Chains A and B, each alone.
Chain A
Amino acid sequence: MNGRLLEVNNLQTHFFVRRGIVKAVDGVSFKIDKGKVLGLVGESGCGKSVTAMSILRLIPSPPGKIVGGEILFRSEDESGNEEEIDLLKLSLIEIRKFRGKRISVVLQDPMTSLNPVFTIGNQVGEPFRLHEKLSGPALLKKIIEVLKRVRIPNPDVRIADYPHQFSGGMRQRVSTAMGISCNPQLLIADEPTTALDVTIQAQLLKLFEQVQQESNMAIILITHNLGIVARLCDRVCVMYAGRIVEDGSVRRIFKEPAHPYTRALMESVPRLGKKKRLFSIEGQPPNLLFLPTGCSFWPRCSFADEKCKQEYPPITSIEGDDYVRCWQYSGGTVS
């Protein structure tokens, strides 16, 4: 039976810049169960990556600061007892034990996530060297093993190659290898396929699926590609302007999206065979320095009324664990 792995409650990450406070993440809550895949979708700049980096405690400070909330991570200690730890309460030394080993990450751009001056064997070995203190033939065996897991052909030869000798897709595989090297319980994949072309994307998604099934790790998948969400995820959180506006199972969200923003997103996906002009959401995402009062989506929402402009809608449960933040569902003032 799968239990809860990570619970984020009311996470607030703000950036203190000269012109004011950017509330990049402002009260985000979500949960993820062991071995499940959670999709985090939303427009550029809505706080997806900042949420992910907050979990890893990799927010550049200054200017960034996690000002509130808790990130509860449930894991087994050495003796097999379950313990729940608030990652935000750990010191920077303690968090190192979690990062890379229990929570790991694959980043967007394989061009910059590999160090150009070292062979990939050397880089993939770094987590083993530091977390598991391996060296020599044991280290080598582990490196080849993990490269095999991400389906890199001839790993024993390729291990001595430099990143530029790999294609983009292969580099992202190497990157993934680094991410999964220590068998993390949670892998954060920050737009892992955005920098790749479609055929390579498909290959990489397959790889993610395989790796996830093999090792039963939970994945937080950050993307703005709804197709990827539909294929890989169990649950989806839709983010808008630093908040989660809708959280639900993939099946429900694709079948009957609740929040107007989610609905608009679904409309904006091109479909084969439909000869209609593609829908696009009017306007632009709000400037996080000057958020509109009330619901941050109202200036672009076709259902907005007076109440939406005054107050941010509360969390309204709709179906099971699913919730939405929209006045349409709470109070029912909007028709």
Chain B
Amino acid sequence: MTAMSSNTNETSLSAGTQTRKAHQLLTFIRRGPTIPALIIITVILCAIFAPYLAPHDPQKIDPKARLTPPAWSEGGSGKYLLGTDSTGRDLLSRIIYGARVSLIVAVIGISISATLGTILGLTSGFFGGITDMFIMRIVDVMMSLPVLFLALAFASVIPSGMYIIILIVAFFGWSHYTRITRGEVLSLKERDFVALARVAQASQKRIMLKHILPNPTNTLTVLVTLDVGGVIMFEAAFSFIGFGVQPPTPSWGNILSEGQNYLTTAWWIATFPGLALMAMVFSCNFIGDWLRDALDPKLRQL
């Protein structure tokens, strides 16, 4: 549909409408949550440019500087801004590198699960009947599975690593996209505009993809942003209990995990990755909330 709308827009809009559009876009951005957006952008930049941003090699051990506190507290050193861990590795560098794992898992895992889930939901809702029953029963099964437990079972069979988390996220994550898309499609396909599209000679495929699918996209976008937070948490939890990303590769989860042994003596090891995690999840939820309003054409005009 983007091709369609840009097509009409470019050719159609008189100068006045164009300024109005630009104005709308500006208000739209201005109303966005600035701080969460900045946090997310920072994290993304950290993940991409980790080698340039990190002050030290995240895996380089400095035995003399073990458990150095953050620079501003007593005994801290300017060399290690957020302090070091039990083997003297720079915490800041590890957190910066850890963002990579979190983002890669979230982006790839969710892309797969959301795409798969949406396609299945659309098919299920649109065609109904046996197709619908079949897909929805699979969804029921998927939703009744204890995710963490099965994930552990998976991880104990297949050698652990980042890709296993992606696989688990993709495998267990699609079902709620299917349910939500199906629900919306069920109500949408009965609306008159679908009948009118049929009258306008639109094919089944065109009705599905161009008339129906754009309607649930704002719900799905919100779901994706909320999922990003959830998946990052899942990765952290999974790495925390020792599966998933293996040390010495840093991930927010396994830094936390290492830090828990030193909670009383070296609070900073667990605190900073925890804060990073919290800020990221919080920002994702905020952006999701904003997107929901922003993507709804009914609220866009104001």
Contact = CB atoms under 8 A, between A and B. Distances in A.
B212 to A, nearest CB: 9
Interface string A144-171: 0000000000001101101011000000
B12 interface: yes
A157 B21 CA distance: 11
A13 interface: no
Interface string B1-41: 10011011101111011000100000000000000000000
Contacts of B158: none
Contacts of B195: 58, 105, 107, 113
Given A159-B12, A162-B298, A162-B301, A115 B201 contact: no
Nearest to A188: B199
A192 to B, nearest CB: 12
Interface string B186-206: 000001110111111110001
B196 A105 contact: yes
A56 B199 contact: yes
B200 A122 contact: no
Nearest to A184: B199
Contacts of A278: none
A113 B198 contact: no
B112 to A, nearest CB: 25
A131 interface: yes
A219 to B, nearest CB: 15
Interface stretch (A20-28, A40-48, A133-141, A325-333): A133-141
Contact of A130 (B7, B202, B297): B202
B56 interface: no
B51 interface: no
A116 B13 contact: no
A112 B8 CA distance: 23
Contact of A136 (B11, B16, B202, B298): B11
Contacts of A34: none
B200 A178 contact: yes
A248 interface: no
Given A56-B199, A157-B14, A114 B4 contact: no
Contacts, number: 105
B215 A157 contact: no
B247 interface: no
Given A109-B192, A125-B8, A157-B17, A99 B214 contact: no
A131 B200 CA distance: 7
A100 interface: yes
Given A118-B1, A136-B11, A164 B298 contact: yes
A242 interface: no
Interface in B194-227: 195-202, 206, 211, 214-215, 217
B193 A114 contact: yes
Contacts of A137: 11
Name the residue among A56, A112, A162 with the largest chain B CB count within 10 angstroms.
Answer: A112
A313 interface: no
Contacts of A107: 192, 195-196
Contact of B8 (A101, A109, A159): A159
A156 B12 contact: yes
A119 B7 CA distance: 12
B13 to A, nearest CB: 6
Nearest to A104: B199
Nearest to B206: A130
Interface of A: 56, 58, 96-97, 99-101, 104-105, 107-109, 112-119, 121-123, 125-127, 129-131, 135-137, 139-140, 143, 156-157, 159-160, 162, 164-165, 175, 178
13 contacts: A56-B199, A99-B201, A100-B201, A107-B192, A107-B195, A113-B195, A122-B5, A130-B206, A135-B7, A139-B7, A139-B8, A159-B8, A164-B301
Given A99-B200, A160-B17, A164-B297, 18 more contacts: A100-B200, A105-B195, A113-B192, A116-B215, A116-B297, A117-B214, A117-B215, A117-B217, A118-B214, A121-B8, A122-B5, A126-B197, A126-B202, A130-B202, A156-B12, A160-B9, A160-B12, A175-B196
Interface of B: 1, 4-5, 7-9, 11-14, 16-17, 21, 191-193, 195-202, 206, 211, 214-215, 217, 297-298, 300-301
- Please name the 4 residue pairs, one residue from A and one from B, whose CB atoms are nearest each other, closest first: A113-B192, A127-B200, A130-B201, A162-B297
